[in-house]
Amino acid sequence: MAINDNDIAFLIEQVRQAGEIEIMPRFRNLVDGDIAEKTSAIDLVTQADLLAEERITKALRQRFPQALIVGEEAYDADRSVVPALNHAELAFVIDPVDGTFNFAAGLPMFGTILAVVANGETVAGIIHDPILGDTITAVAGGGAHLTRRNGSSKRLKVAAPKPISAMTGIVAWAHMGEPERSRIAGNMAKLRMSFYYNCSAYEYWMLACGKIDFVSHQTLNPWDHLAGLLIHREAGGYSAHYDGSAHRPGEMTGGIIAAADRESWETVRREIIGL
């Protein structure tokens, strides 16, 4: 099932409205009862996550009644929705507030992510910044674009390849166990710079805009990565699992490196991930 330009415009509008109505009024306005811990003190869910996901899900069900809808909160209720992404004719994957730790701490770094998956391929990706109302998007085969709230738009391109000592990159080692955790944390010293924002929306945003050189994660929650990986690929980048195979939307393991090109990918795998 194909997704057309009108559908994309509809999706962007739903994400924008969720930001205005459910997310921004709650930024720096949460009371204690609005924040709950999921698996740990850094894995949080707020009223903004729940209500934004509910709002977007409802709009999607009306327009696409047959589609599979996968949200971070929906997954907590039914884990079979993720493997189903590899086969569904049409599916939507939502992260209503990516960067919930930041959102709850009052840090202005969070985004709303929406991916469209058709027959096991990500065909469209949207990452929206609810604070300023700007959006980066990609449709498979159509390039990646940044569209400002005022409608101005420009095409995105990943950074030029460079040697490891000149690279700036992000590895989510804090989510890994030992021995990878210590090995990779130490290897990061080989880079020009590394940092960590607790927000995959902005990791992919910077990657697609050519402001950083690579991103790597071990665990692949589809709501965190599918839209960003497509946008990165459409901006000219190369990504694959740690073993070199292509990522499929329903896979949560195998790790990922997203870099400027195949050679940069191999350099990061060897020098930073240490494989």
Partner 1 sequence: MTAAVDITLLANLLRDAAQAEILPRFRRLAAGDIRIKSEATDLVTEADEQAERMIKREVERLWPDAVFIGEESVAAHPDLLGKLEGADLAIIVDPVDGTFNFAAGVPAFGVMASVVVRGETVAGIIFDPMGDDWVMAEKGSGAWLRRPSGEAERLKVAAPVALEHMTGFASTGFIDKRKRAEVMGNLAKVRFASNYRCAAHEYRTFAGGHVHYAMYNKILP
Binding site for partner 1 (CB under 8 A): 27-28, 40-42, 104-109, 129, 131-132, 134, 146, 148, 166, 168, 173-174, 178, 181-182, 185-189, 192-198, 202, 205-206, 209, 211-212
Question: CA 240, 245, 251, 255 torsion: positive or negative?
Answer: negative
Decide whether 64 or 103 has the Cβ nearer to partner 1: 103
Decide whether 174 or 275 has the Cβ nearer to partner 1: 174
Residue 65 CB, nearest distance to partner 1 (Å)? Answer: 36
Decide whether 123 or 234 has the Cβ nearer to partner 1: 234
Secondary structure of 39-107 as H, E, C letters: EECCEEEEHHHHHHHHHHHHHHHHHCCCCEEEEHHHHHHCHHHCHHHHCCCCEEEEEEEECHHHHHHCC
Residue 265 CB, nearest distance to partner 1 (Å)? Answer: 22
**How far apart are the C-alpha atoms of 134 and 27, rounded to whole Å?**
17
**How far apart are the C-alpha atoms of 181 and 202, rounded to whole Å?**
22
Token reading at 232: 């990165």
Residue 205 CB, nearest distance to partner 1 (Å)? Answer: 7
Residue 108 CB, nearest distance to partner 1 (Å)? Answer: 4
Decide whether 178 or 243 has the Cβ nearer to partner 1: 178
Decide whether 141 or 179 has the Cβ nearer to partner 1: 179
Residue 54 CB, nearest distance to partner 1 (Å)? Answer: 25
Decide whether 66 or 165 has the Cβ nearer to partner 1: 165
**How far apart are the C-alpha atoms of 107 and 154, rounded to whole Å?**
27
Residue 197 CB, nearest distance to partner 1 (Å)? Answer: 6
Q: Is 221 exposed, middle or buried (0-12, 13-18, 19+ CB in 10 A)?
A: middle
Q: How far is CA 117 from the centre of its chain?
A: 14
